[in-house]
Copies of this chain bind each other. A is one copy, B any other.
Amino acid sequence: MQPDISQIAGLIGDSARSKMLTALMGGRALTATELALEADIMPQTASSHLAKLLAAELIVVRKQGRHKYFQLRDAQVAGVIENLLNLAAAVSPAVTGPADPALRRARVCYDHLAGEYGVAVYDALAEQGLILDQGEDTILTPEGKQWFSAAGVDFSQFKGRRPLCKSCLDWSERRNHLAGSLGQWLLQDVFRRGWASRVADSRTVAFTPAGLKAFATHYQIPLLTSVA
């Protein structure tokens, strides 16, 4: 009668598999060997794990030549992982976040921007009244919709079930940052404009000095404009 939680939770509950899944939280598709390295196990073992994750439909695979690229099935799965990350961070406050300063500054959280810059943008948008912070929920104000339309957002494409705006409490900053379709668009826009690029084999987002300045100006982020 009740759906069986333990199946899925048990899959995530293994140390190696959880490492793979959190690695996939980077949003990009990874090959089996990359995931094996990430989990620190032999390829055969990784293969067995990936087969199980596939059977449970937590991940999907795309074959490309002799490589197999795995990624999280969708935002729902990513959301569960994220919730677990937050819960784990809340329970064990020993680790306050990533040690790598660059990773702490800006990184990818499945498909949107997290880290110091992520919360800075969120705060700046709220400050200007473009979004409204309601605790766990976030809503786009009419002014915000107008502003983002001018910035190039085509809102007609956001017709799916996925929420437009969504706050995401990150485990490093313990502060809200922008997720949802709009959060995804924002990160893509940053890449599109060349303000930043992804670092290989990492969730880190590397801003160029000029890009950071433009980013701070565009979103009117006081902290960053003064720093840059």
Contact of A6 among B12, B80, B86, B89 (CB under 8 A): B12
In the assembled complex, A41 has its CB within 8 A of some CB on chain B: no
In the complex, given contacts A6-B12, A9-B13, A135-B164, what are 20 additional A-B residue pairs having Cβ atoms less than 8 angstroms apart?
Answer: A1-B100, A2-B22, A2-B98, A3-B88, A4-B18, A5-B81, A5-B85, A6-B15, A6-B18, A7-B88, A8-B87, A9-B9, A9-B12, A10-B10, A12-B13, A80-B84, A134-B164, A134-B165, A135-B163, A136-B162
Question: A91–B59 Cα gap in the complex (Å)?
Answer: 11
Could you tell me the distance between the alpha carbons of A5 and B2 in the complex, rounded to whole angstroms? 24
A1 and B87 contact, CB distance less than 8 A: no
Taking a contact as CB atoms under 8 Å apart, the answer to whether A92 and B11 are in contact is: no
Query: A139 at interface (Cβ–Cβ under 8 A)?
Result: yes
A137 near B: Cβ within 8 Å? yes
A-B contact pairs, 12 of them (CB 8 A): A2-B85, A5-B18, A5-B22, A5-B88, A6-B15, A7-B88, A8-B91, A10-B12, A12-B13, A80-B80, A134-B163, A134-B164
Which chain B positions have C-beta within 8 A of A81? Answer: 5
**Chain B nearest CB, measured from A45 CB (Å):** 15
- Of B79, B85, B138, B161, which one neighbours A3 at CB under 8 angstroms? B85
Interface assignment of A17: CB less than 8 Å from any CB of chain B: yes
Q: How many copies does the complex hold?
A: 2
Nearest residue in B to A98 (C-beta to C-beta)?
B1
Q: Which residue of B lies closest to A11 (CB)?
A: B13
User: Knowing A3-B95, A139-B134 touch, does A9 contact B83 (C-beta < 8 A)?
Assistant: no
Chain B residues with CB under 8 A of A122 = none
Instruction: Give 1 or 0 for each of A130-149: 1 = CB within 8 Å of chain B CB.
Output: 00001111110000000000
| Contact present for B86 and A76 (CB under 8 Å) | yes
